[in-house]
Chain A
Amino acid sequence: SQQGEEDPQALSIQEGENATMNCSYKTSINNLQWYRQNSGRGLVHLILIRSNEREKHSGRLRVTLDTSKKSSSLLITASRAADTASYFCATITSYGKLTFGQGTILTVHP
């Protein structure tokens, strides 16, 4: 079964709006990572948050982590059409293997 589960499965917004995606996981983690995948391409790492961190920022991205609820959220502020992509959370398991959720498909309309 998937360690990470994203919610919602799909999100459609207008340019300039904020987009929030959520991820839940099942077991204890060392860190949680978010990746973006443009259509037909590979995954690109966005941000990593460690288990002892609660919030992290990178440009227009804000990630939160609540280990008591085993959940994380990714917020993209002031979205752009170029942000249209699938977004995945991933958690680390043994030997540094990543377990991915099924992703959130974000569509940003110009």
Chain B
Amino acid sequence: DVKVTQSSRYLVKRTGEKVFLECVQDMDHENMFWYRQDPGLGLRLIYFSYDVKMKEKGDIPEGYSVSREKKERFSLILESASTNQTSMYLCASRAGRRALWGQPQHFGDGTRLSIL
């Protein structure tokens, strides 16, 4: 089975801090995704990556950046955390060949981030 591991289940940070959320997958998937999930708003895509060192903006990239230096690892960075970034963050991966774009995504258990 595919395993997507997020480094922290819960994280508390202060306004203005630089925050790193880490995600590792063990299935050699080309594609990795970062979402945030908020009540009433569902899941929204922040960034995704289809290859090492490649990144694409999702629907709500403002205030975030990402890093993909190795295929198995995709990091989400909050450059200067703000209270409106308090949320549940979910990482996902999926095989990347075009013929497999319609295949399911595999999710980590999420990081619940609180910005004080």
Contact surface of A with B, Cβ cutoff 8 Å: 2, 30-31, 33, 35, 40-45, 48, 50, 88, 92, 95-103
Contacts and interface: CB of A to CB of B under 8 A. Distances in A.
Given A2-B42, A88-B42, A102-B41, A96 B31 contact: yes
Chain A contact residues: helix, strand, loop or mixed: strand
Given A2-B42, A88-B43, A96 B94 contact: yes
A98 B33 CA distance: 10
Interface residues of B, number: 27
Interface of B: 4, 31, 33, 40-43, 45, 48, 50, 56, 58, 90, 92, 94, 100-110, 112
Given A43-B92, A96-B102, 9 more contacts: A40-B110, A42-B92, A42-B108, A48-B103, A96-B94, A96-B100, A96-B101, A97-B45, A99-B45
A41 B106 contact: no
Contacts of B43: 43, 88, 100
A30 B90 CA distance: 24
Shortest 3 CB-CB contacts between residues of A and residues of B: A96-B101, A42-B107, A45-B104
Given A96-B94, A102-B42, A30 B107 contact: no
A92 to B, nearest CB: 5
Contact of B110 (A41, A44, A100): A41
A41 to B, nearest CB: 5
Nearest to B40: A102
Contact of B102 (A30, A100, A101): A30
Contacts of A97: 33, 45, 48, 58
Contacts of B40: 102
Contacts of A88: 42-43
A46 B104 CA distance: 9
B42 A42 contact: no
B102 A48 contact: yes
A48 to B, nearest CB: 6
B101 A92 contact: yes
